[in-house]
Amino acid sequence: MARSEREMNTRDKQMRDDAYIPPGVLPEPIPEPGWVFRWIATHIMSKPDNSNVSKKMREGWEPVKAVDQPQMEVLGDASGNIEIGGLMLCKAPEEKMLKRNKYYEKQAENQIVSVDNSFMRESDPRMPLFKDRKTKVTFGTGDN
């Protein structure tokens, strides 16, 4: 019995179907160099959340106009902003948001240090709360 060539028995990778991926709830805007995008809540449980919108605008976020993102023009509201289900698409300068993120990372780090210091103040040398964990890396001598 003659053997068939391997090439005839293999499946072509191009014939495989890609898995279905459901669309996200919120569409992704077309990226713009130097800008970051974020969906900001304008309503919570069908009630306007003006304080949140005001705070975000003071942080540097500005509404994205539907004409600036043509693929989302159908989602524009009466004011020309892009809004879906109580969320408005906004953008801010990337550099400003990096500084903002750095500020909040420092705040979180300071809180962790404060909690650790407060916790360690309760430590007693006779029964420490933390055991110093030290690791040591050794290399075998090859005698085995």
Could you report the per-residue pLDDT of 102-140, keeping only the tens digit for each? 999 999 999 988 887 877 777 777 766 665 556 676 776
Phi, psi of 33 (to 5 degrees): -60, 135
Of 27-31, 72-76, 80-84, 110-114, the one with minimum mean pLDDT is 72-76
User: Does 53 score more than 90 pLDDT?
Assistant: yes
Instruction: Work out the average pLDDT over 82-90.
Output: 91
Place of tokens 């809004």: 83
**Which has the closest alpha carbon to 25: 66, 75, 68?**
75
pLDDT at 74: 76
- Token pair, residue 124, equals 């007693």
- Token pair, residue 49, equals 């959340």
Instruction: Work out the average pLDDT over 7-20.
Output: 63
Count of CB atoms within 10 A of residue 63's CB?
A: 21
CA–CA separation, 53 vs 59, rounded Å? 10
